[in-house]
Amino acid sequence: MSINYAASDALYKRASHVIPGGVSSNNRANWQPHPLFYQKAQGAYVWDVDGNKYIDYVLGRGPLITGHSHPRILDAIARQYQAGQFFAGQTELEIVLAEKITNLVPGAEMVRFCNSGSEAVHVALRLARSATGREKIIRFEGHYHGWFDNIAWGFNAPDDTDRDTGALMAMSRGQPVGDAGNILSLCWNDADALERLISSQAQDIAAVVTEPIMFNSFWSNIPPATGYLARVRALCDHYRIPLIFDEIQTGFRTDIGGAQARYGVTPDITTFAKALGGPVCLAAVCGKEPYMRLLAGGPTLHTGTYNAFPPFLAGAITNLDILAENSGAALAKIHLMSESLRAGLQDIATGTTLPMQVRSSPGAVTTTFRATSSVARDYRAARREINQPLLAMWHAALQARGVRITPEGLWYVSTAHGVPDIDYSLEQAAAAVAMLEQARRRL
Q: Mind telling me the catalytic residues?
A: 144, 246, 274
Q: Which residue is nearest to ligand PMP (CB)?
A: 117
Question: Across the strands, what pairs with 47?
Answer: 40, 53
Q: Which is nearer to ligand PMP, 213 or 349 (CB)?
A: 213
Segments of 21-82 assigned E as strands:
38-42, 45-48, 53-56
| The 3-state secondary structure of 351-380, one letter per residue | HCCCCEEEEEECCEEEEEEECCCCCCCCHH
Closest approach, Cβ 196 to ligand PMP, in A, equals 25
CA distances from 173 to 16, 21, 35, 139 (A): 21, 16, 23, 20
Q: Which residues bind ligand PMP (CB under 6 A)?
A: 116-118, 121, 144-146, 211, 216, 246, 248-249, 273
Q: Residue 231, CB half-sphere, CA atoms under 13 Å: how many?
A: 15
Burial class (CB in 10 A: 0-12, 13-18, 19+), 103: exposed
Q: Decide: 133 and 299 in contact? Cβ < 8 Å.
A: no
Closest approach, Cβ 246 to ligand PMP, in A, equals 5
Q: Which is nearer to ligand PMP, 11 or 284 (CB)?
A: 284
Q: What is the per-residue burial (b if ≥16 Cβ within 10 Å, else e) of 288-311?
A: beebbebbeeeebebeeeebbbbb
Distance CA 279, CA 135 (A): 35
Q: Which is nearer to ligand PMP, 47 or 148 (CB)?
A: 148
Q: Which of 41, 44, 64, 42 is nearest to 420 (CA)?
A: 44
Long-range residue pairs from 199-203, CB within 8 A, at least 24 positions apart, any chain? 199/239, 201/136, 202/239, 202/240, 202/241, 203/134
Closest approach, Cβ 270 to ligand PMP, in A, equals 11
Q: Decide: 162 and 380 in contact? Cβ < 8 Å.
A: no
- The residues, any chain, with a CB within 8 Å of residue 43's CB and separated by 6 or more, are 67, 68, 69, 416
Q: Which is nearer to ligand PMP, 105 or 121 (CB)?
A: 121
Q: Which is nearer to ligand PMP, 216 or 319 (CB)?
A: 216
Distance CA 294, CA 302 (A): 10
Q: Which is nearer to ligand PMP, 66 or 116 (CB)?
A: 116
Q: Which is nearer to ligand PMP, 276 or 397 (CB)?
A: 276
Q: Which is nearer to ligand PMP, 317 or 364 (CB)?
A: 364
Distance CA 378, CA 99 (A): 35
Closest approach, Cβ 262 to ligand PMP, in A, equals 16
The total number of residues written for the chain in this structure: 443
Closest approach, Cβ 116 to ligand PMP, in A, equals 4
CA distances from 362 to 51, 70, 186, 255, 342 (A): 32, 22, 25, 8, 10
224 cis-preceded (ω within 30 degrees of 0) = no
Closest approach, Cβ 252 to ligand PMP, in A, equals 13
Closest approach, Cβ 353 to ligand PMP, in A, equals 33
Closest approach, Cβ 211 to ligand PMP, in A, equals 5
Q: Which is nearer to ligand PMP, 142 or 344 (CB)?
A: 142
Closest approach, Cβ 268 to ligand PMP, in A, equals 17
Query: DSSP string covering 162-203, please?
Result: -TTT----BSSTT--GGGGGGEEEE-SS-HHHHHHHHHHHGG
Question: Across the strands, what pairs with 186?
Answer: 140
